[in-house]
Chain A
Amino acid sequence: MPIQRRQFIKVLGAGALASTAGCVGTGSNSEQPAVAGETLTLTTTTSTYDTGLLDEIHSDFEEMYGVTVDAIAQGTGAALESARNGDSDVVMVHARGLEDEFMRNGYGINRRDLMFNDFVIVGPEDDPAGIQGMSSATDALTAIADAGATFVSRGDNSGTHTKELNLWEAAGTDPGGDWYQETGTGMGEALNIANQQGAYTLSDRGTFISQRSEVDLVILVQGPIEDGPEILANPYGILAVNPGVHDNANYDLAMAYIGWITSPGAQDAISNYTMNGEQLFYPEAVSEDPNFQQYVPQGWSSDSTDG
């Protein structure tokens, strides 16, 4: 019943807006921030964009507030860089280390855990490195390196690329040589390139599922969603750009967006989004015991930076 859901989301959205109204501007909650007609610039990763998730859920938000969302798919590193330059209002990314740095430097505020999926190691069916079903991601990478089997790396400073580098580091292997190919492309294209070369690559599960019909690659090492190693977890966060640093950042609208996308309605929409019958993302914002750590850089304590 899409109509019912929409009304449900409307009510929640109004609630989210009312709750943010108190903490913007002068703190007067006598009237709601008038955001209608404005445009929110969201920089995000190729994985959220290429799966079609954003197009699917954004129309609800746009309708509710009478606004436009410009989603720009760049990869985590570039998305944060755009925000640093004041060219976006809100970022949706998946590399906690980079997000923490972004917050520590004062560019991002009000981070929220948004959703998660996981990473999988995919490769050709004949599996020349023999990693099928390994329960350790680092062992699998070591086996690929030892076999000198072609491995396609994103090489674009994205969240997936960052994760891949962390995995090599954990495996104690410094990848290099003819078998290791950096493409500098988005996830979708990296999968295509791996497919054409019969190569291995690390992919987020969402993009792989949405492209499964286009490629002959198979999942050889599962992530935590399918009981794989925890190291392959892939959590997404959402952050508002600090209006104190960039006064042109549309903070009211960014907070309305964060309020909306972490509301139960939008979180349901995320978990209901399937492709080829498979769920791509698992909502994480609504939880029984909210975790304070999601708002601040990991390991942060209130006395370390008292501004």
Chain B
Amino acid sequence: MALESVAQLLPTVFEFSFREGYVPSIVYVSLYVSLVAVSLSTLFSIPVAVVLGFTEFPGKRFVQSVINTGMGFPSVVVGLVVLFAVSNQGPLGSLGLVFTKEAMIMSQFVLATPPITAISMAAIGGVDESVSEAARALGGTRVDVALVVLKEARYGIATAILAGFGRAISEVGSVLIVGGNITSAEGISKTRTLTTAIQLEARQGRYETAMVLGAVLVVLVLVVNALVLRLGDDGVSQR
């Protein structure tokens, strides 16, 4: 695993030592939480975007404005609301989710859903009328038409998913509040992500360490972006 070897290399390059397994476990938690949250969010957002893109109903504008507002919603407030929900005093208290990965997934889901929905909607809306006309003329059902349009808009939808992922993985405030930034005594992360680890290192004035973790985070985001865009391309060049 490349991550392992990078983590092994770090102490020799810099004047500090991570405990073994520390960095890989943080990377794992970051990726696990953000990928699960974004996957769930995608499963939820795409149908919503399709419905909004293809149907007219009273109150549609209102729903759209709610989604657009959500795009700018402060993540710390989302974290606070999720904390109230999952705290043992809250409505979901009996589930014992406070300071767990599941609570972090909940808050990232809330954060990632508006951008994924809004950008997917724009992508679907941007598909040329003639495409859906043609699909309908060929006797396609509404589902067929929707699928054709989705296929046509896949690049825009991939962009939407990436925007959601970017918001989720680079977020500090809410995961710190609902996750608690926990590692085991052996230094294996339970709810510590790259962003909260960076915050912790910076808080203690270990700026070099923070920079290294920051570089790992940037590389991670670039890799995920590259992978998703290739999928959106179907591996086939359009032009």
Contact = CB atoms under 8 A, between A and B. Distances in A.
Interface of A: 41, 46, 50, 54-59, 62, 68-73, 85-87, 185-186, 188-189, 191-192, 195, 211, 214-215, 246, 248
B186 A188 contact: no
Given A55-B185, A248-B88, A41 B99 contact: yes
A211 B205 contact: yes
Residue from B99, B186, B187, B206 having most chain A Cβ neighbours under 10 A: B99
A50 B184 CA distance: 14
Contacts of B186: 59
12 contacts: A54-B185, A55-B183, A56-B185, A58-B185, A59-B185, A69-B185, A72-B180, A85-B89, A189-B202, A189-B204, A192-B203, A192-B205
B204 A188 contact: yes
B176 to A, nearest CB: 10
B185 A87 contact: no
A68 B93 CA distance: 21
B187 A55 contact: yes
A85 B203 contact: no
A117 to B, nearest CB: 18
A50 B204 contact: yes
A69 B188 CA distance: 12
Interface in B200-216: 202-206
Interface in B177-232: 180-187, 190, 202-206
Residue from A50, A70, A195 having most chain B Cβ neighbours under 10 A: A70
Nearest to A62: B185
Interface of B: 87-89, 93, 96, 98-99, 180-187, 190, 202-206
Contacts of B93: 86, 248
A23 B91 CA distance: 32
Contacts of B205: 188-189, 191-192, 195, 211, 214-215
Given A70-B99, A195-B205, 12 more contacts: A41-B99, A54-B185, A55-B183, A68-B184, A70-B190, A86-B87, A86-B89, A87-B88, A211-B205, A215-B205, A248-B88, A248-B93
Given A70-B190, A86-B89, A211 B204 contact: yes
Given A62-B185, A70-B180, A73-B181, A87 B99 contact: yes
A211 B206 CA distance: 9
Contacts of A87: 87-88, 98-99
Contacts of A188: 203-205
Contacts of B182: 70-72
A87 B203 CA distance: 24
Contacts of B204: 50, 188-189, 192, 211, 214
B136 to A, nearest CB: 55
Contacts of A50: 203-204
Contacts of A246: 88
A256 to B, nearest CB: 16
A265 to B, nearest CB: 16
A286 B203 CA distance: 33
A268 B223 CA distance: 48
Residue from B93, B182, B183, B204 having most chain A Cβ neighbours under 10 A: B204
Nearest to A55: B185
Given A70-B190, A248-B88, A185 B203 contact: yes
A57 B98 CA distance: 25
Contacts of B96: 248
A248 B98 CA distance: 12
Contacts of A56: 185
Which 4 pairs of residues, A with B, have the shortest CB-CB distance?
A86-B88, A58-B185, A214-B205, A188-B204
A62 B105 CA distance: 27
B185 A72 contact: no
B228 to A, nearest CB: 33
Contacts of B181: 72-73
B233 to A, nearest CB: 43
A102 B180 CA distance: 22
